[in-house]
Amino acid sequence: GTLVLIRMFTMDYRLTLLSAIPLFFLAIAAFFIAKKMRMRFRARQDSFEEMNDFTQESFSGLSVIKAFVKEVKEAFNFKLKNDDFYNKHMDFVKTMIWFHIIISVFISLTMITLMGVGALIIIYNPAALTIGQLTEFFALFGTLVWPVMALTRFANMRSQSSASYQRVEQFLDSKPLIIDGENIIDYYVDKFVPYSEVALIEKRGDLKKYKVNYRIIFDKEFDLKDKEVYILHSNNEFDIKKAKKLNFNFFEENIYEGSEEVSLNEPLLEYKIVLKDNDKLLEYEKGLLSYPLFEEIIESCTLTGKITFKNLSFSYPDAPDRKVLENISLTINEGERVGILGRTGSGKSTFVDLLLRIYNVDNQTIFLDNHDIMQLHSRCVRENIAYVPQDNFLYSTTIKENIGFSKENMNIEKIHEAAKLSDVYDNIIDFKDGFDTILGERGVTVSGGQKQRISIARALAKDAPILILDDSVSAVDTNTEDQILSNLNRIRKGKTTILIAHRISTVRKLDKIILLDQGRILDIGSHDELLKRCSVYQEMVNRQALESKVMGNA
């Protein structure tokens, strides 16, 4: 490009300047139009996403739409969203067309101007420029024009990809709202980011030897002068005196890679990276070792199932002034079978969400095995809990894969046993492909009761210290419910089981029943104890007994 411009300039500087000025303005115009295209492409994508979400929601709730005779209304709503997408798409297309038109007009006008000026120079000053030179000049100008055209097309594509990338980048940059315990890596970009992969080399009795590969990425602007870097390993407290100093023989730019072997009498659970600056310890990074070793060391994070709430009050982040749970204090001992009853909106599901670390709570308010839940890694907490939600979500894979979801390559006998315990085994083997039957999206190919029992089987197959069923037998008949509860009592001995329910029949045989009302505990006791002293519980028993009698006579 530079050589072409030099050659053009030596031929005629006036024509060269005349050709360069329009190209300069073309570049400015392309910049502003590309910016506008990016904005309109993003608006188009937002509208497309909204239309897609509406379409998916409409298909998922098609039976509800038909039941409430809202087909015409929903079709009209879809037309509005489709029209909005069409209009925004056309805005983008029009901008793109104008973009190409402006470029073509600019270049065409430039060539016409050059041709006219060149002709005048040849006519009035033949010694300055010949027809052959003018022809060569146009050929050289063409070699500049086509790269410019290519750049404008690139700007067009970049404006689209940039809009899409910004959406992805916003998602990737979003930080989790959950605050994990101290055994989590905090990524301080202005300092350094550690990453490790660990493999268990050998195991002799209690002694375990690990191969630890480190990769530490420092910010390029972070000054390492006069600083020392140490790696520490521990399951409890870290001691800088026991640290291993890293040397930087293989330090390249801002990346250090190294490996070492560590021998411990217990599984390696945590590591910490410490920077030492003139005898002063700087902020460190600390974390659980990364997957796939996490599956091996999770035994170090095993809980027994004791749960303690101490004066817990909780409000959702978007409604901080409204207490969903207030002054909750209770203890669920290891192996206890506990029921949670309450009206809709009493806080039952929130109770479960807090145990699953879906939301942050105040320190020293929830304890698992006497460990503050806010100091435990969320993966550690959830690994020890098997959960059956109200919305029984199933993946569109096989029944076998859904039940064995908690562990890869789960033994088929264990999957069959879990299906038998949830009283869904006979239904499954009646299917043409048995446990290899492919479930439709969200389990659409099975009934509500079968979906619920498959979800229960998935939780039972996990065999966790804590099992939580959130209104998870509501879609089955009384006989099936009794069979499932009987199986739970038999196989869950010594393990904590929590059942959230609306029906008294679901919880009456449990060790303890927690009665919630408007986020507060009204009473705690067995079925017989509450029946004697709690008027609200008595009212619930009498009302449900009457409902059962009416339904039986219907």
Closest to 23 in 3D by CA, of 119, 143, 127: 143
Q: Which residue type does 207 have?
A: L
User: Would you state the pLDDT for residue 250?
Assistant: 40
- Radius of gyration, alpha carbons of the chain: 35
Write out pLDDT tens, residues 249-284: 444 555 666 666 766 665 555 555 565 655 555 444
CB 479 within 8 A of CB 502: no
User: Would you state the pLDDT for residue 285?
Assistant: 45
User: Would you state the pLDDT for residue 258?
Assistant: 65
User: Would you state the pLDDT for residue 255?
Assistant: 60
Write out pLDDT tens, residues 400-452: 998 998 877 788 999 999 999 998 899 999 988 889 988 876 666 788 888 88
For residues 462 and 469, give the distance between their C-alpha atoms in angstroms, rounded to a whole number. Answer: 13
| Helix (H/G/I), strand (E/B), else coil: 258 | strand
Which residues of the chain carry a pLDDT beneath 50? 182-195, 235-236, 248-251, 282-300, 553-554
User: Would you state the pLDDT for residue 334?
Assistant: 93
CB 482 within 8 A of CB 323: no
Q: State how far the alpha carbon of 527 is from the alpha carbons of 106, 487, 505, 524, 542, in Å.
A: 86, 20, 10, 9, 13
Q: Which residue type does 210 have?
A: Y
User: Would you state the pLDDT for residue 429?
Assistant: 92
> Which domains, and CATH codes, for the chain?
1-173 (1.20.1560.10), 199-290 (2.60.40.10), 307-552 (3.40.50.300)
User: Would you state the pLDDT for residue 525?
Assistant: 92
User: Would you state the pLDDT for residue 140?
Assistant: 80
Closest to 464 in 3D by CA, of 358, 388, 366, 377: 388
Q: Which residues of 67-80 are buried (b: 16+ CB within 10 A; e: fewer)?
A: eeeeeeebeeeeee
Q: State how far the alpha carbon of 276 is from the alpha carbons of 95, 128, 207, 284, 334, in Å.
A: 57, 74, 30, 10, 43
* Cα 325 → chain centroid: 26
For residues 361 and 349, give the distance between their C-alpha atoms in angstroms, rounded to a whole number. Answer: 15
